[in-house]
Structure 1
Amino acid sequence: MLDDTDRRLLRQLQNDPTASTAALAARSGVSAQLATRRLDRLRRDGVLRGQRARIDWRALGYSVEVSLRFTLDKAAPRAFDEFIAAAREVPEVIEIQTFLGRVDVRLSVIARDLEHYHRLYRQRIVTLPHISDVEALMQIATLKTDERLPL
């Protein structure tokens, strides 16, 4: 599926997502025209799904991150769909993951401070539908976060 040229281009793009196609081509040892064709193909094939801005929410005044693990009442046929739809409506929920096992859903929630988190938890989180159990884990530090793949 991917050859060495594709991998070199993707490595360079991961290292500097703001680089121009000409710069990526030069660093990858290919022509700009070939780089353009390859990157277009990778986008078309769904390998390269886009680029995005990573904003440090701490710089915007959010100092608390909590990981909430939910077990849902699965007796309701649409429990997952209704819970996830409602969770998407909470702006402070920055990530939603579903699991197989004891935990059904995990939400990453950010808040400005503990008081803000307390209000958010009582007014928006515990009112989400179909909650059977919830466990909160307050994040102390992020030791590694890296989306680069070993290409």
Structure 2
Amino acid sequence: MSDRTATPDATDLAILKLLASDATRSAADIGRELQMTQPAIWRRIKRLSDAGVIAGRRISVDQTALGFGVTVFLGIRLAAKGRTSLEEFERAVTAIPEVQTVQHVLGQFDYRLRINARDIADFERILRRRIMTLPGVGQVEANVMLSEERRPGPL
């Protein structure tokens, strides 16, 4: 990958797969696995970061271990559509700590939210006191997650 627009090569993809499975892996550890030197791996990681291919490094937190046993996906259709109401809704919903993701989508709903709550009673409190009071909220549909299988994205 020689510049910001170049496509990652097979070695870059191998590095990305290893980092995607464990973002805490060191360049030396990755180098050992790929039979490359630590400086060569570090240069590639830096180049991938500078090009925006690596947007950050994250850890995966077990929500249940932290006491958040319920995940709910909410579909929200806004009552009044318009540029101002979209921005106002987005600003307000992203301020709610229990809302983990906000997705603006096409289809039956305008937004899809992922909410982590301690239990169903906690979710009901969040829904009544926070979500339903947001500007422009019309129709709401909740889907409680029963289980989740995480798969790495395509590389």
The TM-score with structure 1 as length reference comes to 0.90
Match in the other structure for 2:150: 145
Give the 3 Å change call, closer, same or farther, for CA 92–33 of structure 1 in structure 2.
same
**For the Cα contact (< 8 Å) 1:62–1:110, is it kept in 2?**
yes
SS in 2 for 1:78: helix
**Please, which moves more after superposition, 25-34 or 36-45?**
25-34
**For the Cα contact (< 8 Å) 1:67–1:106, is it kept in 2?**
yes
CA distance in structure 2 between the partners assigned to 1:99 and 1:75 by the alignment: 14
AA at the equivalent of 1:145: R
Match 2:21 to one of 15, 34, 48: 15
CA distance in structure 1 between the partners assigned to 2:25 and 2:96 by the alignment: 34
Q: Which string of whole-angstrom CA distances, capped at 9 and with x for unpartnered residues, describes residues 31-68 of structure 1?
A: 21211111110000000112112111111111111111
CA distance in structure 1 between the partners assigned to 2:113 and 2:95 by the alignment: 12
SS in 2 for 1:70: strand
SS in 2 for 1:103: coil
Aligned length: 149
**For the Cα contact (< 8 Å) 2:71–2:145, is it kept in 1?**
yes
Give the 3 Å change call, closer, same or farther, for CA 54–124 of structure 1 in structure 2.
same
The TM-score with structure 2 as length reference comes to 0.88
SS in 1 for 2:128: helix
CA distance in structure 2 between the partners assigned to 1:8 and 1:131 by the alignment: 44
CA distance in structure 2 between the partners assigned to 1:137 and 1:119 by the alignment: 16
**Please, which moves more after superposition, 13-22 or 94-103?**
13-22
SS in 1 for 2:107: coil
Gapped runs of 5+ residues in structure 2? 1-6
**Please, which moves more after superposition, 73-82 or 49-58?**
73-82
Residues 1:2 and 2:8 aligned together: yes
Match in the other structure for 1:27: 33
Give the 3 Å change call, closer, same or farther, for CA 75–51 of structure 1 in structure 2.
closer
Tell me how far 1:76 sits from its aligned partner.
Answer: 4.0
Match in the other structure for 1:105: 111
CA distance in structure 1 between the partners assigned to 2:19 and 2:70 by the alignment: 31
Q: Which string of whole-angstrom CA distances, capped at 9 and with x for unpartnered residues, describes residues 87-113 of structure 1?
A: 111111111111122211011112111
Q: After the TM superposition, which parts of structure 1 deviate over 4 Å for at least 4 consecutive aligned residues?
A: none
Match in the other structure for 2:94: 88
CA distance in structure 1 between the partners assigned to 2:127 and 2:42 by the alignment: 47
Gapped runs of 5+ residues in structure 1? none
